[in-house]
């Protein structure tokens, strides 16, 4: 075994092996279709409204910068621990045999809530944009969003190599849609104007910092998914190379597409119209090509939204599976399909919960909640885990090493803290409440199973009783 390779874990030695059949192209496609969901089409107008000026492009660049810095943390951990479950393994390894139990449990705990919320948000966004084609009542929109999740489960019920091919097909649709939108503004609009006037009226003051914080909550939501490949670590070919490469390629590609799409729209539509539009991209296409092509564009946007739900569900289903295989979650989640070799129980449960959430919530209610719930345990937690691992094991332990360590880790921690505060007091309290309930659930589980932190106490009590 090479010096920089981690020792096999219980997950690797005691479980039926997942098959490594996803290459760089498929891994990049899975990341990118997760990133480009309904988010950029829905929040484009929201970001413009929050920023109140042509400098709204800075919020998209801020989201890209945070994603690139955070991807360094994911790359170093993902390349070193290429197993199903991603952050579950990172937290468990980084915080050690005691506190790692708590942190990894809290991650799975919050995943059972936030993962279905992510899936549901994409499905709800799908139904919201579908109403451009056919106005829907409240009940009809819920039928559409629920049906999307059912169809996703049907598509995921197959072998991983087939899923990789489906991902590439969906990815082609995503790229074609974005290129068409960008090309339309380039040909028929004043494409350079939004960039030339990006600083018009800009004042670097507290109001601008506050606005970019609020807007970045929305743009970061649109970039989420660059790490999806880490959740599929046990199915990635040559993970030490392909996991980091797929993330950085995805972020670079998506940043170009997002910025160019915003510039393209702003080169044709006045800022006031962008700020108040519910179907900003469809209206943009209608202006440059007519209502018939606007309908075609809306169908393609729905394709993109559907692809995002597909990719997110695929990645998240591996998290409870990984925890169950490791003995830290309900054993039924560790089951693989006997012939298709994928965690079908975990996939089914997440789809069922997401189906319920899609019926209960509205899109604007879940975007901030998703980030607030994930930042402390997942994003900031695994950054701390990386610092601990580097101190304990040294540089040679890692399959990939970030440049300028530890600066990117410290920057990621500072930026995630800023985003967490920007979600608002209610969302912060909601995230802390979920963590508190998770700690209570962990303690109850640990006491029942006589594991840390109750193992030594219970042993002493039994010895005194004897």
pLDDT tier, 156 (very low <50, low <70, confident <90, very high otherwise)? confident
* Contact in structure between 104 and 96 (CB atoms under 8 Å): no
DSSP 354-386: HHHHHHH--HHHHHHHHHHHHIIIIIIHHHHHH
pLDDT tier, 458 (very low <50, low <70, confident <90, very high otherwise)? very low
pLDDT in the model for residue 300: 86
Distance (Å) of CA 354 to CA 150, 167, 350, 357: 10, 21, 6, 5
pLDDT in the model for residue 424: 86
* Contact in structure between 222 and 371 (CB atoms under 8 Å): no
**The pLDDT of residue 298 is above 50:** yes
* Contact in structure between 46 and 221 (CB atoms under 8 Å): no
Average pLDDT on 384-388 reads 97
Of the candidates 29, 292, 4, the residue with the CA atom closest to the CA atom of residue 165: 29
Task: Read off the DSSP letter of residue 132.
Answer: T
The two tokens of residue 278 are 């519910």
Q: How far apart are CA 75 and CA 89, in angstroms?
A: 13
pLDDT tier, 175 (very low <50, low <70, confident <90, very high otherwise)? confident
Task: Report CA torsion sign: 438, 439, 442, 444.
Answer: negative
pLDDT in the model for residue 66: 94
Q: Which of 142-146, 169-173, 216-220, 434-438 has the lowest mean pLDDT?
A: 169-173
* Contact in structure between 386 and 94 (CB atoms under 8 Å): yes
pLDDT in the model for residue 409: 97
| 3-state secondary structure at position 51 | helix
pLDDT in the model for residue 53: 85
Average pLDDT on 254-270 reads 93
Q: How far apart are CA 146 and CA 142, in angstroms?
A: 6
Give per-residue pLDDT as tens, 42-80.
889 999 999 988 889 999 999 999 999 999 999 999 999
pLDDT tier, 103 (very low <50, low <70, confident <90, very high otherwise)? very high
Of the candidates 373, 386, 387, 308, the residue with the CA atom closest to the CA atom of residue 74: 386
pLDDT in the model for residue 192: 87
**The pLDDT of residue 146 is above 90:** yes
pLDDT tier, 2 (very low <50, low <70, confident <90, very high otherwise)? very low
pLDDT in the model for residue 155: 85
**The pLDDT of residue 182 is above 80:** yes
Q: Is 225 left (phi over 0), alpha (psi -120 to 50) or beta?
A: left
**The pLDDT of residue 376 is above 80:** yes
| 3-state secondary structure at position 452 | coil
pLDDT in the model for residue 466: 45
Residue 22's φ and ψ, nearest 5 degrees, are -100, 115
pLDDT tier, 157 (very low <50, low <70, confident <90, very high otherwise)? confident
Q: Which of 160-174, 237-251, 299-313 has the lowest mean pLDDT?
A: 160-174
Residue 386's φ and ψ, nearest 5 degrees, are -65, -40
pLDDT in the model for residue 364: 67
Residue 55's φ and ψ, nearest 5 degrees, are -80, 10
pLDDT in the model for residue 11: 45
Give per-residue pLDDT as tens, 409-424.
999 999 999 999 988 8
The two tokens of residue 390 are 């580097």
302-338 CB burial, b ≥16 within 10 A, e <16: bbbbbbbbbbbbbbbbbbbbbbbbbebbeeebbebee
pLDDT tier, 13 (very low <50, low <70, confident <90, very high otherwise)? very low
Give per-residue pLDDT as tens, 397-456.
999 999 999 999 999 999 999 999 988 888 899 889 989 999 998 999 889 888 899 876
> Domain locations in the chain?
10-422, 424-466
- pTM surpassing 0.85? no
DSSP 307-323: HHHHHHHHHHTHHHHHH
The two tokens of residue 227 are 């790490």
Choice between 307 and 275, residue whose per-residue pLDDT is larger: 275
pLDDT tier, 303 (very low <50, low <70, confident <90, very high otherwise)? confident
**The pLDDT of residue 5 is above 60:** no
Average pLDDT on 1-20 reads 51
The two tokens of residue 128 are 């919201």
CB-based contacts of 136-143 (< 8 A; 24+ apart in sequence): 142/358, 142/359
For residue 176, what is the enclosing H or E element? Answer: helix 160-188
Q: What would the CATH number be for the domain defined by 10-422?
A: 1.20.1740.10
């Amino acid at each position: 075994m090479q010096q920089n390779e981690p020792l096999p874990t219980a997950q690797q030695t005691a479980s039926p092996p997942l098959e490594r059949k996803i290459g760089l192209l498929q891994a990049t496609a899975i990341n990118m279709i997760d990133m480009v969901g309904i988010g950029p089409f829905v929040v484009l107008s929201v970001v413009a409204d929050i920023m109140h000026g042509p400098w709204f492009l800075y919020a998209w660049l801020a989201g890209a910068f945070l994603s690139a810095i955070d991807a360094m943390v994911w790359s170093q951990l993902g390349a070193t621990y290429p197993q199903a479950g991603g952050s579950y393994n990172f937290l468990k390894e980084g915080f050690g045999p005691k506190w790692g139990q708590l942190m990894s449990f809290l991650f799975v705990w919050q995943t059972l809530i936030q993962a279905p919320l992510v899936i549901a948000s994409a499905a709800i966004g799908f139904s919201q944009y579908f109403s451009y084609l056919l106005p829907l009542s409240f009940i009809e929109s819920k039928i559409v969003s629920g049906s999307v999740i059912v169809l996703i489960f049907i598509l995921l019920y197959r072998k991983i190599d087939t899923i990789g091919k489906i991902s590439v097909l969906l990815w082609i649709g995503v790229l074609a849609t974005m290129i068409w939108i960008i090309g339309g503004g380039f040909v028929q609009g004043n494409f350079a104007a939004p960039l030339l006037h990006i600083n018009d009226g800009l004042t670097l003051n507290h109001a601008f910092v506050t606005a970019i914080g609020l807007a970045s909550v929305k743009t970061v939501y649109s970039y989420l998914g660059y790490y999806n490949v880490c959740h599929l670590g046990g199915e990635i070919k040559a993970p030490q190379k392909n996991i980091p490469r797929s993330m950085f390629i995805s972020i670079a590609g998506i940043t170009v597409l997002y910025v160019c799409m915003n510039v393209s729209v702003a080169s044709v539509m006045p800022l006031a119209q962008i700020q108040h539009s519910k179907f900003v991209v469809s209206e943009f296409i209608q202006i440059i090509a007519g209502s018939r092509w606007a309908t075609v564009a809306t169908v393609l946007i729905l394709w993109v939204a559907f692809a995002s739900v597909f990719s997110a569900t695929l990645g998240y289903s591996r998290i409870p599976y990984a925890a169950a295989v490791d003995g830290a979650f309900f054993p039924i989640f560790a089951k693989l399909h006997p012939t298709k070799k994928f965690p079908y129980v975990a996939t089914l449960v997440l789809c069922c919960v997401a189906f319920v959430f899609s019926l209960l919530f509205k899109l604007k209610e879940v975007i901030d909640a998703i980030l607030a719930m994930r930042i402390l345990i997942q994003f900031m937690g695994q950054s701390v885990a990386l610092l601990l691992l580097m101190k304990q094991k040294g540089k040679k332990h890692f399959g990939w090493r970030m440049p300028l360590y530890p600066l990117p880790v410290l920057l990621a921690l500072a930026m995630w803290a800023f985003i967490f505060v920007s979600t608002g007091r209610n969302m912060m309290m909601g995230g802390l409440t979920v963590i508190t309930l998770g700690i209570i659930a962990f303690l109850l589980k640990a006491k029942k199973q006589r594991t840390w932190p109750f193992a030594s106490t219970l042993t002493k009590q039994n010895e005194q009783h004897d």
